[in-house]
Amino acid sequence: MHDHLKSLLLDALNACTPRIAAADLLDDDTENARLDPCADENEYASRVTEMGIALCLKARMRERRAQLEHALKRLEARDYGVCDECGEDIALPRLLANPAATLCVHCQADREYGRGHGHAQGQQLRCA
């Protein structure tokens, strides 16, 4: 089963790497666009919006990649599939759905409802 999870993780990692590279290219473009003195106000506004979206996507991709790399390391260390909070095994269907999960379903729910240490994250989710 570990082999299957590892291939899931590697697939997900491979899927997000080119997207980070693409976002890096986009960054170069937006950097140039920002320096263009001819851009009118509307053009400028839409470029700023695009840049914001690109940066947001890239940050998410980077975060995702970090989660996946972390999960792979734990898989190698045979420390995988255990909840960070309570130390219980994370249910297999949950790992198959999200191989980068580090919390069991109960602790994840606790965080999302903003109880205990997960307060800040709960706030983030309400804003999203």
Binding-site ranges for Zn ion (CB under 5 A) = 83, 85-86, 104, 107
Nearest approach, Cβ of residue 84 and Zn ion (Å)? 7
Nearest approach, Cβ of residue 110 and Zn ion (Å)? 8
Output the six-digit token pair for 66: 């970090």
Q: Tally Cβ neighbours within 10 Å of residue 22.
A: 14
Contact at 8 Å (CB) between 57 and 24?
A: no
Helix, strand, or coil (residue 88):
coil
Nearest approach, Cβ of residue 38 and Zn ion (Å)? 55
- CA-CA distance, 31 to 22, in Å (whole number)? 14
Output the six-digit token pair for 31: 């950097």
Measured from the CB atom, the residue of 101 and 107 that comes closer to Zn ion is 107
Nearest approach, Cβ of residue 18 and Zn ion (Å)? 33
Q: Tally Cβ neighbours within 10 Å of residue 93.
A: 9
